[in-house]
Amino acid sequence: FRLTTVEEFEAATDRLLETGAKVGADSWQMRVKNQTPHCKFGEEGICCRICSMGPCRITKKAPRGICGCDAHGIAGRNFLRFTAGGAATHSDHGREICHTLHTVAPDGNYKVKDAEKLIRIAKEWGVETEGRDIYELAHEMSELALMEYGKPFGVQRWLKRAPEHTQKLWHDAEIEPRAIDREVSTAMHMTHMGNSSKPEALVRQALRSGMSDGWGGSMCGTEFSDVMFGTPKPVDTEANLGVMKEDQVNIIVHGHDPSLSEMICEYADDPEMVALAKTMGANGINVAGVCCTSNEVAMRRGVPMAGNFLQQENVVLTGACEAIVVDVQCIFPALGPLSKCFHTKFITTSPIAQMPDSDFIRFNAETAGENAKKIVRTAVENFANRKQELVHIPQLKQKATVGYSVEAIVKTLDGVTNSQVDVLGTTKPLLECITSGVLRGAVAMVGCNNPRVRPDYAHIELMKKLIKNDIIVILSGCSAQAAARAGLMDKRAKDLCGAGLKRVCELADIPPVLHMGSCVDISRMMVLASELSKDSGLPISKLPVVGCAPEWMSEKAVSIGNYVVATGIDTFLGVDPQVSGSSEVTYWLTEGVRKWVEAAYTVEKDIEKLGDAMIARIEEKRAALGI
């Protein structure tokens, strides 16, 4: 066993780009060159275009915009709007899931798969569960969850999952999120021309807006997806472009909402569709994923992961992709023109993400079955149009074990303790490993790829460094896929760990880096941190645990970062948030917020130093606890 190297990833990409050049395709690599150097005002966050007296940009000669706003106000407003964009996006995904939950029926497209989890959440929310029909309960829970988006009074229900200490910090700092949509609206209102320009106030609302995502909309997304599609448990799969199959119809699912991808997987197994594929000359139908949709179906079904964010063009460049089926978020508009250079059908499905040069097949929860069947049929029939001379699938793939929800982690780690039965089913075995020093701590590594960082390199190098230092790594999003593609989710990767983590991997039979899901599933990490805090009696901020997003790029990532920090977890970034034009906003994010939430951001673009800084922070926290 050995890891696949980033050099091998890059060689595979180069070979695919040769095909691209042959057919006259554009690529993100070319577009990065065309866009470099980037606009300096934008990079530093000091360009304002929120009113038509502007746009205004801050220079030595012009230190204020026409309205008199300075660099701090402009960078702060931009940062808050950036966060609101992310919070809205995650939360709207969560809302779609709540609507889908409203359609569940025993003979419907969607069913309740994890009734026990639904009942557990209902009890948390004070809803009567005794003697209730599970579908009736699901509908009531869906309505209550949807009310969280617009309720006129009160704060988010999920906040009660946090330890008392954290809840008090949130209350005192006035960052408890009220209705989810309200925090987005407040952010837009505050940043309208002529409202807030005080960095402290803007950063505070950025935390609250982020909180409405992680402790609001994203948590709805994760929890009710589990109710409908099953709570993930460890499952074996494979990752990297080599999961695509030359002799089969390849359907790539890309985007975020499992309501679509789950149905595509169902119909790809439909005997009628498989028979149709055979008549087209294919040996079957192969579904593989890109981005978070891939995480969702990998965690619940073991569907292979073709690649992460910056691999999305590569799947088309293989020449063997019959259809790339997308729903929402992180989808390159480039897929339209690119797919036209091949036989690939680029199928958009959501009114939220409509793009030129795509086939729009609208997907609705109510008609999900027929929509999915139509999509699968379109892909299968397209097999005949494949241009054999353009087909090249890089033969890179690794085995991965994925599916570590909080429930699964707790259950799996029961295996590492010999102690009393009363710790079973809690996070205490994990805490024992940490206090005894067998594990030094944990890092939650999340986020995207970004061409500003050598793609996947930061993720993979940091993971290797952390596990070698006996730090267990939990992952989500494109970070998780980088790990899987490299082979770090193969249980045999335990040999790359320090002695302590290696022992834990052997006892619990886990890989050294644990796949916790998609980006909305970072809410799982918040639940895990809360459980660790309650089981140890320590505030979250004192646990030797940090967050890291080394290659982040989206607004969603900033929203995530804000709620992770607001939950008391120091967060390390490998890409600059666009605020460096303001010393004050920078101060608030990297220091100031600490007095509210006991954590803050660290930005370090040198990956080696970023890793050292995380290890140092973990060791500092251990020293402070005397462990």
Whole-number Å distance between alpha carbons of 210 and 599:
15
Stretch that binds ligand SF4, among 52-60, 329-337, 439-447, 462-470 (CB under 6 A): 52-60
Whole-number Å distance between alpha carbons of 53 and 66:
7
Asked whether 532 and 431 are in contact (CB, 8 A), the reply is: yes
Q: Does position 177 bind ligand SF4 by CB under 6 A?
A: no
The partner in contact with residue 292, picked from ligand SF4, Fe ion, none with C-beta cut-offs of 5 to 8 angstroms by kind, is Fe ion
Q: Does position 39 bind ligand SF4 by CB under 6 A?
A: no
The residue (of 82 and 363) whose beta carbon lies closer to ligand SF4 is 82
Write down the least CB distance from residue 256 to Fe ion, Å.
6
Write down the least CB distance from residue 554 to Fe ion, Å.
8
The partner in contact with residue 23, picked from ligand SF4, Fe ion, none with C-beta cut-offs of 5 to 8 angstroms by kind, is none
The partner in contact with residue 66, picked from Fe ion, ligand SF4, none with C-beta cut-offs of 5 to 8 angstroms by kind, is ligand SF4
Question: Cβ–Cβ contacts within 10 Å for residue 260, how many?
Answer: 28
Classify the C-alpha dihedral 473-477-482-485 as positive or negative. positive
Which distant-in-sequence residues (6+ apart) come within 8 Å of 612 by Cβ? Answer: none
Q: Does position 56 bind ligand SF4 by CB under 6 A?
A: yes
Beta strand ranges found along 452-600 (DSSP E):
471-475, 513-515, 545-549, 571-573
Write down the least CB distance from residue 589 to ligand SF4, Å.
21
Whole-number Å distance between alpha carbons of 80 and 58:
18
The partner in contact with residue 302, picked from ligand SF4, Fe ion, none with C-beta cut-offs of 5 to 8 angstroms by kind, is none
Write down the least CB distance from residue 559 to ligand SF4, Å.
23
The continuous run of DSSP H or E covering 57 comes out as: strand 56-57
| Closest to 87 in 3D by CA, of 520, 516, 479 | 520
Cα distances (Å, whole numbers) of residue 194 to 65, 90, 366, 450: 12, 28, 44, 34
Q: Does position 292 bind Fe ion by CB under 5 A?
A: yes
What is the per-residue binding string for ligand SF4 in 74-93, x denoting contact by CB under 6 A? x-------------------
Single out the residue of 3, 16, 69, 145 in contact with ligand SF4 (rule: CB under 6 A).
69
Q: Does position 429 bind Fe ion by CB under 5 A?
A: no
Single out the residue of 15, 22, 49, 609 in contact with ligand SF4 (rule: CB under 6 A).
49
Write down the least CB distance from residue 82 to ligand SF4, Å.
15
| Closest to 532 in 3D by CA, of 605, 621, 616, 455 | 621
What is the DSSP secondary-structure string of 446-462? -----TTS-TTHHHHHH
| Closest to 335 in 3D by CA, of 349, 327, 345 | 345
Asked whether 50 and 65 are in contact (CB, 8 A), the reply is: no
Q: Does position 55 bind ligand SF4 by CB under 6 A?
A: yes
Which distant-in-sequence residues (6+ apart) come within 8 Å of 578 by Cβ? Answer: 42, 43, 44, 45, 75, 78, 79, 82
Stretch that binds ligand SF4, among 7-15, 46-54, 555-563, 577-585 (CB under 6 A): 46-54
Tokens of 110: 């969607």
Stretch that binds ligand SF4, among 43-51, 132-140, 486-494, 528-536 (CB under 6 A): 43-51
Asked whether 588 and 79 are in contact (CB, 8 A), the reply is: no
Whole-number Å distance between alpha carbons of 447 and 306:
17
Which distant-in-sequence residues (6+ apart) come within 8 Å of 341 by Cβ? Answer: 20, 23, 24, 25
Q: Does position 477 bind Fe ion by CB under 5 A?
A: yes
Write down the least CB distance from residue 55 to ligand SF4, Å.
5
The residue (of 196 and 339) whose beta carbon lies closer to ligand SF4 is 196
Single out the residue of 193, 235, 355, 423 in contact with ligand SF4 (rule: CB under 6 A).
193
Q: Over the range 278-291, which residues count as b (16 or more CB within 10 Å of their CB) and which as e? A: eebebeebbbbbbb
Q: Does position 65 bind ligand SF4 by CB under 6 A?
A: yes
Kindly identify the residues of this chain, within the stretch 495-524, that bind Fe ion according to CB under 5 A: 519
Stretch that binds ligand SF4, among 61-69, 144-152, 435-443, 497-505 (CB under 6 A): 61-69
The residue (of 364 and 580) whose beta carbon lies closer to ligand SF4 is 580
Q: Does position 144 bind ligand SF4 by CB under 6 A?
A: no
Query: If DSSP states are collapsed to H, E and C, what string results for 386-438?
Result: CCHHHCCCCCCCEEEEECCCHHHHHHHHHHHCCCCHHHCCCCHHHHHHHHCCC
Q: Does position 141 bind ligand SF4 by CB under 6 A?
A: no
Q: Does position 251 bind ligand SF4 by CB under 6 A?
A: no
Write down the least CB distance from residue 74 to ligand SF4, Å.
6
Give 38's DSSP letter.
Answer: P
Q: Does position 62 bind ligand SF4 by CB under 6 A?
A: no
Tokens of 502: 């290696």
Stretch that binds ligand SF4, among 54-62, 101-109, 538-546, 554-562 (CB under 6 A): 54-62
| Closest to 257 in 3D by CA, of 333, 346, 362, 327 | 327
Stretch that binds ligand SF4, among 49-57, 325-333, 346-354, 479-487 (CB under 6 A): 49-57
How wide is the angle at C-alpha 464 spanned by C-alphas 460 and 470, nearest 5°? 145
Stretch that binds ligand SF4, among 63-71, 305-313, 321-329, 355-363 (CB under 6 A): 63-71
Q: Does position 45 bind ligand SF4 by CB under 6 A?
A: no
Write down the least CB distance from residue 57 to ligand SF4, Å.
9
The residue (of 190 and 522) whose beta carbon lies closer to Fe ion is 522
Q: Which residues bind ligand SF4 (CB under 6 A)?
A: 48-51, 53-56, 65-67, 69, 74, 193
Q: Which residues bind Fe ion (CB under 5 A)?
A: 292, 477, 519
